[in-house]
Amino acid sequence: MFPFYRLFRFEKHFAVILIGIVLFSTSCFSGRRGKGDPVKIQGAGSTFINPLMQKWVSEYGKLYPNIRIDYQSIGSGGAIKQIKERTIQFGATDIAMKDEDLASAPSAILHIPVVLGAVVLTYNLEGVEKPLRFSPDIIADIFLGKINRWDDPRIRAENPDANLPADGITVVHRSDGSGTSAVFTNYLSKISPEWKERVGEGTSPSFPVGLGGKGNEGVTGQVKQTPNTIGYVELAYAVKNKMPVAELKNKAGNYVVPNFETVTNAAAETINETPDDLRVSITDAAGGNVYPISSYVYVLIYKDQTDEVVGRVLVDFLTWGINEGERFAEGLYYSPLPEAMVKRASAKIALVEHNQKSLRGTAGPDPMN
């Protein structure tokens, strides 16, 4: 006969807790959505677009409380991986998918540009008041390590009034794979044949010199804390941290400050060269008042939606985004899409379908009905 009376309170407590947890857990499976439950959609991807996306999903959620959209920063590459696995319903990426990636996806994926970003050069130089000016070849040579002193004659030639110190340049780049790096190296590859050959472009370039910071905020932090450094970050990080932003000489020969106008212009001026699938690089764009290191941020969705409700919501959400959502862009330091691109993006969204029927225009005040 098992001596129950000898059960130590130690075991009793343990058993009670265990049973409690088991009971609790089994009641906690939602059965993945019944009728009348809120529509739950997961998106993920670019960390760069996160603040704007959070604003969008929050504002959209105010319009339609029954729709819960979650967006999580896991990186542009993460978006591409996860959308191929269908663990997320939409992705956001700073860099367009490559052909091989598109080909290996289960079905066709559309790129919808939603907003613009700019990669700026920021630095830490005591005693330098006005923004420094750089021409493209100087930038390339700094990052190649060929120019390694701040008082180099070439830098001085472009900035005759600046109080440049006689110190070495410490380059700060990204250590993690990033769309920002991809855009920056894409620019460098266009303006410097040596860069293109030695390093190339991509999300994880092997920089010839410099320290690696983790994330935009890591590079910002290192540049801010360490004197005589120069690094590349997204515009918002430099501005919000009150750090200087360099003026770059663009293709037309003008020194431009990165701001909403010059970045949106980069998109507007390149509309005609933009291919039908909207995957395009707009760095080093032609045009007078154009900032040379600008880029689109894309939302990725499947052309053929397997779930009708989810599809309708996605279509409505994205349409809302590129129309009403754009007004939140500037407040968060993103540049809005030019009108011409909004039209083309809308046309792309109209292609999203379910069972060969376009989902466009099926959404009314409440996409659920």
Partner 1 sequence: MASDLTENTTSTAPRVNNPIGDRLFRGALIAAASLILIILISMVAVMFYSSRLSIREFGFSFIIGQVWDPIKGEFGALPFIFGTLVSSLIAIVIAAPISVGVAIFLVEQAPKSIARPMAFLVELLAAIPSVVYGLWAIFVLAPFLRVYVQPPLQDVLGFLPFFKGSTTGIGMMTGGIILAIMITPIITAVVRDVLEAVPVTQREASLALGATKWETTRIVLANASSGIAGAIVLGLGRAVGETMAVTMIIGNRPEISASLFAPGYTIASVIANEFTEATGDLYLSALIEMGLILFLVTFIVNGLAKLLIFSVTRNTVQRS
Partner 2 sequence: MDQRRITNLIMTTLTAACAFGVVALLILILSYISYQGISSLSLSFLVETPKPVGEGGGIGNAIVGSLILLGLASAVGIPLGIAIGTYLSEMGSGWYGTIVRFVADTMIGIPSIIFGVFVYVIVVLQQGYFSTLAGSLSLALIMIPIVTRTTEEMIRLVPKSMREGALALGAPEWRVTMNIVIPAAMTGIATGAMLSVARVLGETAPLLFTAFGSRFYNIYLDEPMASMTVQIYNYAISPFEDWHDKAWAATLVLITLILTINIFVRYITRKKY
Residues 173-212, mask of contacts with partner 1 (x by CB under 8 A): --xxxx--------------------xxxxxxxx---xxx
Question: In whole angstroms, what is the distance from residue 287 CA to residue 31 CA?
Answer: 55
10 Å CB burial of residue 58 (0-12, 13-18, 19+) is exposed
Question: In whole angstroms, what is the distance from residue 326 CA to residue 267 CA?
Answer: 15
CA distances from 19 to 2, 7, 25, 71, 176 (A): 21, 16, 10, 35, 44
Cβ burial 62-74 (10 Å sphere, 16+ → b, else e): eebeebebebebb
Question: In whole angstroms, what is the distance from residue 150 CA to residue 124 CA?
Answer: 11
Residues 63-82 that bind partner 2 (CB under 8 A): 68, 70, 72-74, 78
- For residue 207, the one-letter residue type is F
Count of beta carbons in the 10 Å neighbourhood of residue 116? 25
For partner 1, the closer CB: 216 or 270: 216
Residues 84-123, mask of contacts with partner 2 (x by CB under 8 A): -xxx------------------------------------
Among 90, 143, 333, 334, binds partner 2 (CB under 8 A): 333
For partner 1, the closer CB: 199 or 337: 199
Residues 201-240 that bind partner 2 (CB under 8 A): 215-217, 220, 234, 236-237, 239-240
Q: Are 348 and 112 in contact (CB under 8 A)?
A: yes
The alpha carbon dihedral of 302, 303, 304, 306 has a sign of: positive
Determine if 44 is a binding residue for partner 2 (CB under 8 A).
Answer: yes
Determine if 213 is a binding residue for partner 1 (CB under 8 A).
Answer: yes
Q: Name the segment binding partner 2 (CB under 8 A); options: 10-18, 97-105, 275-283, 360-368.
A: 10-18
CA distances from 345 to 41, 54, 68, 354 (A): 21, 21, 24, 19
For partner 1, the closer CB: 132 or 182: 182
Residues 82-141 that bind partner 1 (CB under 8 A): 98, 100-101
Question: In whole angstroms, what is the distance from residue 363 CA to residue 368 CA?
Answer: 8
For the record, the structure tokens of 28 come out as 């906690």
Question: In whole angstroms, what is the distance from residue 365 CA to residue 64 CA?
Answer: 8
For partner 1, the closer CB: 38 or 227: 227
Among 41, 45, 57, 352, binds partner 2 (CB under 8 A): 57
State the residues that interact with partner 1 by CB under 8 A: 1-2, 74-78, 80-81, 98, 100-101, 168, 170, 175-178, 199-206, 210-214, 218, 221-222, 225-226, 229
State the residues that interact with partner 2 by CB under 8 A: 8, 10-11, 17-18, 21, 25, 28-30, 32, 40, 42, 44, 47, 50-51, 54-55, 57-59, 68, 70, 72-74, 78, 85-87, 215-217, 220, 234, 236-237, 239-241, 332-333
